[in-house]
Amino acid sequence: AQKITQTQPGMFVQEKEAVTLDCTYDTSDQSYGLFWYKQPSSGEMIFLIYQGSYDEQNATEGRYSLNFQKARKSANLVISASQLGDSAMYFCAMRYNNAGNMLTFGGGTRLMVKP
Amino acid sequence: GAVVSQHPSRVICKSGTSVKIECRSLDFQATTMFWYRQFPKKSLMLMATSNEGSKATYEQGVEKDKFLINHASLTLSTLTVTSAHPEDSSFYICSAFRTGGAKNIQYFGAGTRLSVL
């Protein structure tokens, strides 16, 4: 069975500092995609960053980067220079290419940025 | 990023009534859309996969007669909660699957908060 684990239910970070949100996954598939989404209190799910299983370089999107360690099956999200607006729930998700492109989500991490 | 519109954002209804939620992809065509349910402080739970022009595929434990899904066009999927009861109160969120390159990203609507009295 495919599984996504986010071990940090809640995290604090000081404004302007960097923070790493952990995500590990379990799959026997060779081809898959990893995603991070942000969910503010309003409820919408905002796509942040994507990493393909065959991508050799770590994905980056502005202040977001994905620390992809395939052998360890981890895909941690790094947010640099945290801002107050980064306070939200963050979900790691995995797309299994043999499963109709469905996403399986981790349990989420609540990030709180302190001023 | 791509835009997915979900309407209404919030609905309050009486027990026994039906509620329709719309999910539209505004700037791309989506042959596949997904419907999720999210309980407070929990992750998203996939309810069903909506395929344009064919029947939806429901996840185990989701009542297809309770949650009717119609995907009549490449930009619109609807979820109808039939004969709603208080236990159906939840946050429902849709996504539209956009193909293109290797990413094939799901873009989400803003969600619908359903309260059944």
pLDDT, position B102? 58
Of A44, A101, A108, the CB nearest to B108: A44
Q: Which residues contact A28 (CB under 8 A, 6 or more apart)?
A: none
CA distances from residue B62 to A44, B8, B18, B50, B95 in whole angstroms, order as listed = 23, 22, 17, 14, 18
Taking any CB pair shorter than 8 Å as contact, residues of chain B touching chain A are: 1, 32, 34, 42-44, 46, 49, 57, 91, 93, 95, 97, 102-111, 113
| B43: chain A residues, CB-CB within 8 Å | 91, 105-108
- Name which of A6, A25, A47 to mutate to probe chain B: the one with the most chain B Cβ atoms within 10 A of its Cβ: A47
pLDDT, position B91? 97
Q: Which residues contact A52 (CB under 8 A, 6 or more apart)?
A: A32, A33, A34, B102, B103
| Span B13-26, average pLDDT | 96
- What's the pLDDT tens digit per position in A35-91? 999 999 999 999 999 999 999 899 999 999 999 999 999 999 999 999 999 999 999
- Residue B87: DSSP 8-state: G
**Mean pLDDT, all residues of chain B:** 92
What is the distance between the alpha carbons of residues B41 and B104, in angstroms, rounded to a whole number?
27
Q: How far is A8 from chain B (nearest CA, A)?
A: 13
Give me B102's structure tokens. Answer: 């290797």
CA B87 to chain centre: 17
- Name which of A102, A104, A109, A110 to mutate to probe chain B: the one with the most chain B Cβ atoms within 10 A of its Cβ: A102
Structural contact between residues A1 and A102, judged by C-beta atoms closer than 8 angstroms = no
| A105: chain B residues, CB-CB within 8 Å | 43-44
Long-range contacts of B5-12 (CB under 8 A, 24+ apart): B5/B109, B5/B110, B6/B93, B6/B94, B6/B109, B6/B110, B6/B111, B6/B112, B7/B112, B8/B112, B9/B110, B9/B111, B9/B112, B9/B113, B10/B112, B10/B113, B10/B115, B11/B112, B11/B113, B11/B114, B11/B115, B12/B115, B12/B116, B12/B117
Terminal Cα distance for chain B, rounded: 36
| Span B31-48, average pLDDT | 93
pLDDT, position B98? 79
- Name which of B35, B62, B90, B103 to mutate to probe chain A: the one with the most chain A Cβ atoms within 10 A of its Cβ: B103
pLDDT, position B1? 63
Confidence of residue A96 (pLDDT cuts 50, 70, 90): confident
| Span A94-99, average pLDDT | 76
- What's the pLDDT tens digit per position in B55-98? 899 999 999 999 999 998 889 999 999 999 999 999 999 999 87
Q: Is the pLDDT of residue B101 over 70?
A: no
What is the distance between the alpha carbons of residues B20 and B29, in angstroms, rounded to a whole number?
21
Q: Is the pLDDT of residue B3 over 80?
A: yes
DSSP H or E run through B7: strand B4-7
Give me B10's structure tokens. Answer: 């919030």
Q: Is the pLDDT of residue B104 over 90?
A: no
Q: Which residue of A has its CA nearest to B48?
A: A102
